[in-house]
């Protein structure tokens, strides 16, 4: 099975609560691709990187089994973020540079009848591109974050609603939003109501994640609560939403079982937190063991 992941690869500088810092590959497509590999899925990345993007990063991706044929270079700086975490793993995000939009002509023919996960991080997948993806793909998953992020004068990323949001949601079979993103998008502070509203606004399935308080999964006339899995230790929460989205989409695409997909997604995210970067991700068989306990605790609310 293949999954096509569309969005900017970023170079992230992460500053941890103790003041230490690390620079590594970032972006939804990176976390989603490594999660896909662990879940027996071959990832194909569609992205744009600048002339400053190190060749060794591309070699690293290819050696790990990620198809990099559709990562195109442009003259200029790669999308870069600075992420600053506090002791509670809350973060401030700064957008340091942004690459150009991913256009329809950048997309490969391999989209046809595939699972496509759109992981925009700075609005780089415009509506026209998203429409084309939705028409070609057999299932389109989308993270809302890239369509709510705007850059302040000092580079701080702030979340605001977008006038095209309601149209964008109509092209998502699966949509992920973190709790605050869901509130911005819908106006509902209650994450359960926000999940239901996102479905009302046009997406097929809405995933609203709340960190250690679990997540809600909404469909038409259906709402479930999925408890969080407590990690053994919290090292790095970067990419949790990306992994949740990718794993849910892959598992749901594979089985059509919403309980199993949600349990696998929340379990995989818990493993991710235990180590920096993508090092916390574990094989599907190990995720599945943990997911079995989650399934029995899922609550059907509607």
Local mean pLDDT, 10-residue blocks, the chain (302 residues): 96 91 92 98 98 96 97 97 87 95 93 93 97 97 96 93 91 98 97 98 98 96 95 86 98 97 97 91 96 96 88
Q: Model-level pTM? A: 0.95
Domain ranges for the chain, please list them.
2-300
Going by C-alpha positions, the residue among 71, 66, 23, 24 that lies closest to residue 50 is: 71
- Block residue for tokens 């103790």: 18
- The pLDDT score that the predictor gives to residue 232 is 87
How far apart are the C-alpha atoms of 115 and 124, rounded to whole Å? Answer: 19
Q: Select from 229, 173, 223 the least CA-distant residue to 194.
A: 223
Residue 164's pLDDT is what? 87
92: left (phi over 0), alpha (psi -120 to 50) or beta: beta
Q: Give the span between the Cα atoms of 228 and 267, in whole angstroms.
A: 8
pLDDT, residue 233, reads: 86
Rounded (to 5) percent helix, strand, coil in the chain: 35, 30, 35
Considering the four listed CATH numbers 3.20.20.110, 3.30.43.10, 3.40.1190.20, 3.20.20.80, the one that applies to the domain covering 2-300 is 3.40.1190.20
Is 30 in a helix, a strand, or coil?
A: helix
- Residue 270 makes CB contacts below 8 A (sequence gap 6+) with 228, 229, 230, 231, 290
């Amino acid at each position: 099975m293949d999954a096509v992941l569309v969005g900017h690869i970023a170079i992230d500088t992460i500053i941890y609560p103790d003041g230490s810092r690390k620079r590594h590959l970032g972006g939804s497509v990176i976390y989603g691709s490594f999660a896909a590999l662990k879940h027996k899925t071959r990832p194909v990345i569609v992205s744009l990187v600048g002339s400053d993007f190190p060749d060794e990063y591309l070699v690293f991706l290819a050696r790990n089994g990620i198809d990099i044929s559709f990562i195109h270079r442009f003259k200029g700086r790669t999308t870069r973020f600075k992420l600053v975490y506090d002791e509670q793993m809350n973060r401030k995000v700064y957008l340091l540079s942004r690459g150009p939009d991913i256009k329809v002509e950048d997309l490969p023919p391999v989209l046809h009848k595939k699972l496509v996960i759109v992981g925009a991080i700075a609005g780089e997948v415009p509506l026209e591109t998203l429409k084309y993806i939705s028409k070609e793909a057999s299932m389109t998953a989308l993270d809302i974050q890239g369509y709510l992020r705007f850059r302040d004068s000092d580079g701080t990323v702030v979340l605001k609603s977008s006038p095209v949001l309601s149209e964008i949601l109509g092209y998502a079979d699966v949509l992920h939003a973190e709790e605050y993103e869901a509130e911005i998008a819908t106006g509902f502070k209650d994450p359960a109501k926000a999940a239901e509203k996102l479905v009302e606004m046009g997406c097929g399935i809405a995933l609203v994640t709340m960190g250690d308080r679990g997540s809600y999964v909404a469909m038409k006339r259906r709402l479930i609560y999925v408890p969080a899995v407590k990690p053994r230790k919290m090292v790095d929460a970067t990419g949790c939403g990306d992994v949740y989205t990718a794993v849910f989409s892959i598992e749901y695409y594979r089985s059509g079982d919403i309980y199993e997909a949600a349990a696998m997604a929340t379990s995989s995210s818990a493993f991710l937190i235990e180590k920096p970067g993508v090092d916390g991700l574990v094989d599907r068989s190990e995720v599945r063991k943990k997911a079995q306990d989650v399934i029995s605790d899922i609550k059907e609310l509607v």
